[in-house]
């Protein structure tokens, strides 16, 4: 995928038995690229900027 991308990520420090992925990211762009982030293939050249906040509750709606 080509930059710039907008991503929505979640990170969990604890799974209370909901079978959660401990981290998961979806990305999209205005130029038509979209997908999932799994790991960095260019760690020496990429730059990230992230804004996160802590949640007080967690819900699982669709156990797969």
In this predicted structure, the answer to whether residue 61 has a pLDDT above a threshold of 90 is: no
Work out the mean pLDDT of the chain and round it to a whole number: 89
What b/e string do you get for 20-50 counting C-beta neighbours within 10 Å, with b at 16 or more? eeeeeeeeeeeeeeeeeeeeeeeeeeeeeee
Give the mean pLDDT of 34-42. 89
Predicted pLDDT of residue 11: 92
Give the mean pLDDT of 2-23. 90
In this predicted structure, the answer to whether residue 47 has a pLDDT above a threshold of 80 is: yes
In this predicted structure, the answer to whether residue 64 has a pLDDT above a threshold of 70 is: no
């Amino acid at each position: 995928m080509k930059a710039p991308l907008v991503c929505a990520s979640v990170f969990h420090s604890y799974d209370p038995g909901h079978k959660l992925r401990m981290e998961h990211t979806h990305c999209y762009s205005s130029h038509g690229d979209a997908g999932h982030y799994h790991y960095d293939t260019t760690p020496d050249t990429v730059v990230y900027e992230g804004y996160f906040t802590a949640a007080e509750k967690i819900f699982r709606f669709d156990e797969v």
